[in-house]
Amino acid sequence: MLSIKGLTKVYGRKTKAVDNLSIEIEDGEFVAFIGTSGSGKTTALRMLNRMIEPTDGVVTINGMETKKMDPVELRRKIGYVLQQVGLLPHMTIKENIVLVPKLLKWPQERKDEKAKELIKLVDLPESFLDRYPSELSGGQQQRIGVVRALAAEQDIILMDEPFGALDPITRDTLQDLVKELQKKLGKTFVFVTHDMDEAIKLADKICIMSHGKVVQYDTPDNILKNPANDFVRDFIGENRLIQDRPNMKTVEKAMIIPKTVNIDDSLDHAVSIMREYRIDTILITNKSQKLLGYLDIEDIKEGVRKKAELIDIMQRDIYRVNINSKLQDSVRTILKRNVRNVPVVEDDNKLVGLITRASLVDIVYDSIWGDDEEVQTSDPSKDIGVDI
Amino acid sequence: MIQFLNENAAGLFEKSIEHFFISMISLGIGILIAVPIGLFLAKNKRLSNMVLTTAGVLQTVPTIALLALMIPLFGVGKTPAIIALSVYILLPILNNTVIGVQNIDSNVKEAGKSMGMTNFQMMKSIDLPLALPLIMSGIRLASVYVISWATLASYIGAGGLGDFVFNGLNLYDPLMIVSAAVLVTALALIADYLLSLVEKMTIPKGLKISR
């Protein structure tokens, strides 16, 4: 059992990074420390293996006070997974895996056996043992990072945002893998995250922290049913919405240049442009490129039947986003309002771009596969139009 | 010219060997001192800055002055020359060692520490191998320096190709000076080549692979 009593870390004179943290972690439990940045969750985790020395408080592992142990010995007994993996680049995967066993002076055969056993555990081929970290992908490296923490048969594994640097799909697979490992091996896992969904998915118990203090420590179900206060409520809500968004700051990077017609143009002209570029919606601007409205295929049918002018049938009620707004907000709009696309305007309502569902698909595609291969850009004629 | 070379071939060869010998001994001593000190210094940014600045200032003492200063302390001959040259090449090696260690990805160091490595194990298994590419380039630089400076060591009776240069100056014999100078350059190139082989052998394989 891992028992933490009154754990405190003070930086300088006043700043309390962790303030009187007291929780009990049973053997074989999967516990998540969660909080916003600066909540002290990482500091708390790092005090458990004395990577950071506590200012005050007692941590006991199975009745043994960590304070009284040699920090080097202590760290060899506790597995640790870093966010940035931190494999040693000059050592093979095998040497990386059996780093702690080597420090503990295990015989060679036992080390070899362990390395083979562990690499199987994370579904990687044995031939990887002789490779070097730079030959592996990020996700594969983190798999090795995880088993490295298990190599010396540690009973407690600490993980500092272990999946934070991975793309959504890899992250998901690794989360499943770690959960499965934890169930299979029955070890105590303590991990830090800022992703509520990750915490809910993995943890048996969640410790929500804010300003160095524990706000709530309970099972995910209980936290979701009975949030201790507004902070917890906000935290759950906010994070469940934010998770898994493409990591792009403003809409500018995702937008495409839309096809437009002038307000004074004829309806026929608009139709011919739409036909030429195979688009179903067209934006309407005035001479100085200010956005006035849009026309979609339904409007045009109607208009042609009534022989109306473009200016009479265009839709003036149009949702738009500012060029500086965050991409995640426009994603929300597109999904919630079920619109096909959102025009992007500058402060003075000048049309500069367009976010479409298709361009969002491209972003997701890029963020997942973009690094591995050259992403084929779509046909330029499509790029300027409004795709369906 | 042919005549000069015929008459002095044996002498030039012998002096080249001597020159090389002095330089390499100095280089070896320099490495043995600078690399461990560099590994320790790199742990402390302020101290390493102080030491490197001081060493940089000392480096501006002219070689010939330093060699002359050795005479009252160690007399004349090879020993004082080797000491002076070793001191002289400390800086480039020290500098590269410190920078090499300080540039190591902090996550790797963090990983080492969190796995329960002692400070010495970190130095041996992380700092040294990962800083090695930079250390080696410092050593190669130092080897070229030391071979060129060893010419001046002849001034305090250490021998080497400097003997030909100084004799040439005294006798006003350009041929003597030029032939010695060419040989010094050749030695520097040879040393650099040999060290590049050492570099290839010592730098860990994992660092050379890129996806």
Q: How confident is the model at residue B193 (pLDDT cuts 50, 70, 90)?
A: very high
Distance set, CA A331 to CA A117, A169, A328, A343, A361 (Å): 44, 19, 5, 12, 11
What gap in Å lies between CA A311 and CA A159, rounded to an integer? 61
| Res A238: pLDDT | 54
Residues of chain A with CATH 3.10.580.10: 251-383
| pLDDT bucket at A243, cuts 50 / 70 / 90 | very low
Fold category of A251-383 in CATH: CBS-domain (3.10.580)
Q: Do B108 and A103 touch (CB under 8 A)?
A: no
CATH numbers and ranges of domains, chain B? 2-202 (1.10.3720.10)
The interface predicted TM-score (ipTM) is 0.79
Examine the pLDDT at A384 and tell me if it is beyond 90. no
Residues of chain A with CATH 3.40.50.300: 2-242
Q: Tell which B residues from 122 to 151 touch A, by Cβ distance under 8 Å.
A: 125-126, 129-130
CB contact under 8 A, A89 and B207: yes
| B60 secondary structure, DSSP code | T
CA distance B113 to chain A (A): 8
Q: Which of A87, A90, A99 shows the shortest C-beta gap to B207?
A: A90
* Angstroms from A288 CA to nearest CA on chain B: 50
Return the beta strands (E) in chain A as ranges. 2-11, 15-25, 30-35, 56-61, 64-65, 78-81, 156-160, 188-193, 205-210, 213-218, 260-262, 281-285, 291-296, 321-322, 341-345, 351-356
More confident position, B28 or A246: B28
**What band does A329 get if pLDDT is binned at 50, 70 and 90?**
low
Exposure b/e, A72-89, CB count within 10 A at least 16 = b:
bebbbbbbbbbbbbbbbb
Model confidence band, residue A249 (pLDDT cutoffs 50, 70, 90): low
Contact B108 A134 (CB under 8 A): no
| Percent of the residues in chain A that have a pLDDT greater than 90, as a whole number | 15
A324: tokens are 């500086």
Q: Compute the average pLDDT of residues B8-36.
A: 91
Res B33: pLDDT: 94
Q: In what order do the strands lie in the sheet with A281-285?
A: A260-262, A281-285, A291-296
Please give the Cα distance from B171 to B133 (Å, whole number).
45
Query: How distant is the Cα of A105 from the closest Cα of chain B, in angstroms?
Result: 12
The phi, psi pair for A189, rounded to 5°, reads -115, 130
* A103 to B204: CB separation less than 8 angstroms, yes or no: no
Instruction: Please state at what angle helix B128-153 crosses helix B174-202, rounded to 10 degrees.
Output: 170
Q: Which residue of B has its CA nearest to A150?
A: B115
Across the interface, do A90 and B116 touch by the CB < 8 Å criterion? no
3 state DSSP class of B129: helix
CB-CB under 8 Å, A134 with B210: yes
Torsion angles phi and psi, residue B191, rounded to 5: -60, -45
Q: List residues bridging with A79 in a β-sheet.
A: A157
Q: For chain A, state the CA radius of gyration.
A: 27
pLDDT at A373: 47
The full length of chain A comes to 388
Banded pLDDT at B128 (limits 50, 70, 90): very high
CATH number of A2-242: 3.40.50.300
* Residue in B32, B28, B63 with CA at minimum distance from that of residue B150: B63
Residue B150 structure tokens: 């060893």
Which residue of A132, A144, A154, A158 is the best one to mutate when testing the B interface, meaning the one whose CB has the most B CBs within 10 A?
A: A132
pLDDT for B76-90, tens place per residue? Answer: 888 888 998 998 899
Contact A193, A199 (CB under 8 A): yes
Residue B42 has pLDDT above 70, yes or no: yes
Give the type of residue at B186: A
Contact predicate A122/A140, CB 8 Å: no
In this complex, the residue of A77, A86, A100 whose CB is nearest that of residue B110 is: A86
Q: Is the dihedral of CA A37, A41, A44, A50 positive or negative?
A: negative
List of chain B residues whose C-beta atoms are within 8 Å of the C-beta of residue A80:
111, 114-115
* Pairs of CB atoms within 8 A across A/B: 73
